Structure 1
C-alpha cells in the first residue's frame, strides 16, 4: 500500500519505501536519551539509530536571531538549571549552554542543520515546531532532505494553511484526538497528509479498534501511534505505553498497539520494542501491510 495521495507520491516516496520493507516503523522519541546522553541532541540521534530506529523524533526551538536548535521548550530547568525559555536567547547564547543531564555534559545544544546534514539516511519526525513554520519551512528547503522529514502539528487551520501555502509539500502526520479532526484533515487536499497520529485517552475511544486503522488505510493514510509514557501521566494512547509494557507486560501495552496494525509506533525504548516485535511477529517482513 502506498500512503498519501497520488499528487504527492514523489514527496512521500522515501517513507513509503521504508514501509514497504518493514512495518511498523519504530520512531524514537527525542532520540535515545539514556545514561550520560541527553535527549534531543546529536548524541541522542546517533544512539537511537544504533539501536535500530527507523525514524527519530525531535523538537525544535528558534533563537531570537532566527537559528534553529533541537530542544523541547519547558525543560530548561531540568537541562540547564534556569526557568526562562531558551527561545529568548540568541544563537550564540544557546551554543554556550551545556547540558546538566546526569552530570556536566561535554556537549551543548544541537543545531538543526547538524542533524539534517550528518544523518543523510535517517527519517525524521519533527514535533513542536509549528510556531516557527514561517521561517522553518523555507529553512528546510535548503537541505537535501529528499522526503525524509515527517512533520506533525495539531489539527488547526493556522498550521494547515501555512503548509498549504508553502511550495514544498512536506509529508505531514497531524495529531488528531477526534474523528471530526480526522475528517477535517482528510478534506484538505492542498496539504500532503500522508497519515494521522491518533491520540486516544481511553480504550473505548473510536480510534482504539483495528476497524479504524483499516478505514484510514482505505483513505490512503498511515496510522501513527505513540507508546510514550508522559511525565504528565496523560495517556497518548489508552495507557498502552512503554511503562506498562516494561514494568507489567507487553501484552498490556505494545501488543495492544500492534493489534491495531499501525504503520509507525513511537517509543522511548527502541531496543526493547524492536526486540519484542522481532520475537512476536514478522517485523522485518512487508507482508504485514498486505
Structure 2
C-alpha cells in the first residue's frame, strides 16, 4: 500500500511539473523566436464545445493542445473582473443590461448561453478563477484588459500567472512604454499593425527599435497589398508574425472559411508565403489537425 501511495504521489508531482513546464515551454518559443512550429490561439476558448469565455471552453482548448487562449475582460459594478466579450449581458447570458450595472453576486445567478443562443448550466467565471484554472498549462491573451491593467496585474501577481499573459493593442510604442513599461519584464506585449494603413511599415520599424517585441499581429484586407510579403522578409528571424483567421478581411481572405475548403490556401498560405508562426482561429481542432499532419505542431 505504501508503494502505491508513493507511486500516486510521484504521478501527481509529474503531472503538475509537466503542466508548469508546458506553459514555460510555450513562452520560451515566443521569447526565442522559435519558427519550427506554429502556435495555435483559440478565440474565446473552444466556443463550439462550450459557451465562449467559459471554463469548459478553456479546458477543451487546453485538452486539444492549444498554446494560447484568448479571453475577454469586463468589470462589474462592484469592481470584479469577469470573462465576457460584450459590454452587455444580453447576447451571452440569461441576463440583460450593462455588465457595469450589475454586482458580481447577481451575475453569478445567470447562466451562459452557447453559440446557438441556448441556455446552458455554465456560469460566468471571474478572471481570478480563469487564471487559477490555466496556471502553468497555457498562455492567455487578455483582450479588453488594458483599461484596467494596473488592477489586473495585482490579480496576476496573486495567482502567480504574470509570465503567462499576452497583451496586444494598437497603441504607439511611446504609449505602450508609458502604460505597460513596468510590467514588460513579465507580460508579453504584441503590437497590432494594420498593413493597409499608410504608415504601417514605419510603425513596425519604430516598434522594432523601441520595444523589440517578440511578435506582431498583422492585419490586411486582400492580397493586392504587397506589404505582407515585404514584412515577412523584414521580420524573418527577428520577430514572429501573428495572423487572425477569424474572418476574411483580417488575413487577406485566408481565413477559417477558406481553410475549410482548402487549408493549404488558407492556413498554409499564411504560414508558407507570409511567414506566420502564430494563428488565432475559431476552429482550433481543425487547425491543430492540419498542423500536426504537416509536422508543425506538437
Instruction: Give, in angstroms, the shift of residue 242 of structure 1.
Output: 0.2
Residue of structure 2 equivalent to 1:8: none
Answer yes or no: is the 8 Å Cα contact 2:94–2:112 preserved in 1: no
**Aligned pair 1:278/2:292, yes or no?**
yes
Q: Work out whether residues 14 and 148 of structure 1, in 8 Å CA contact, stay in contact via their aligned partners in 2.
A: no
Q: CA deviation at 1:254?
A: 1.1
Compute the TM-score of the two structures, normalised by the length of structure 1: 0.81
Matches within 5 A, 1:86-235: 86-101=99-114, 102=116, 103-119=118-134, 120-145=136-161, 147-156=163-172, 158-166=175-183, 169-177=186-194, 178-189=200-211, 193-209=213-229, 211-218=230-237, 220-229=238-247, 235=249
**1:253 maps to 2:266:** yes
Q: Verify the 8 A CA contact 1:14 1:146 in the aligned structure 2.
A: no
Q: Greater helix share, 1 or 2? A: 2
For residue 151 of structure 1, give the secondary structure of its aligned residue in structure 2.
strand
Structure 2 unaligned blocks of 5 or more: 1-23, 195-199
| 1:29-53 Cα shifts (integer Å, max 9, x gaps) | 1100115x10111110001111221
Per the alignment, residue 30 of structure 1 pairs with: 44
CA shift at 1:20, angstroms? 4.5
* Structure 1 Cα separation of the partners of residues 28 and 168 of structure 2: 17
- Greater relative contact order (Cα 8 A, min sep 6): structure 1 or 2? 1
TM-superposed CA distance for 1:123, in Å, is 1.2
Question: Between Structure 1 and Structure 2, how many residues are aligned?
Answer: 263
Q: Aligned pair in 2 of structure 1 residues 274, 194: CA closer, same or farther (>3 Å)?
A: same
1:242 aligns with 2:264: no
Structure 1 pair 88–201 and aligned structure 2 pair: CA distance change class (3 A): farther
Instruction: For residue 243 of structure 2, give the secondary structure of its aligned residue in structure 1.
Output: strand
Asked whether the equivalents of residues 88 and 99 of structure 2 are also in contact (C-alpha less than 8 Å), the reply is no
Shift of 1:167: 7.2
Q: Which one of 40, 51, 57 corresponds to residue 70 of structure 2? A: 57
Gaps of 5+ in 1: 1-11, 286-290
Q: 1:21 to 1:45 in 2, by over 3 A?
A: farther
| Residues 1:207 and 1:81: Cα distance change in structure 2 (over 3 Å) | farther
Secondary structure at the counterpart of residue 250 of structure 2: coil
Q: In 2, distance between residues paired with 1:196 and 1:167?
A: 15
Q: What TM-score, normalized to structure 2?
A: 0.79
* Counterpart Cα distance in 2 of 1:91 and 1:159: 30
Structure 1 residues 253-286: Cα deviation after superposition (integer angstroms, max 9, x where no partner): 111111122221111111111111222x22148x
What is the aligned-residue RMSD (CA, Å)? 2.6
Q: What CA deviation, in whole Å up to 9, does each residue of 1:230-253 have, x standing for no partner?
A: xxxx6111111001111x322331
Give the 3-state SS of the residue equivalent to 2:264 in structure 1. Answer: helix
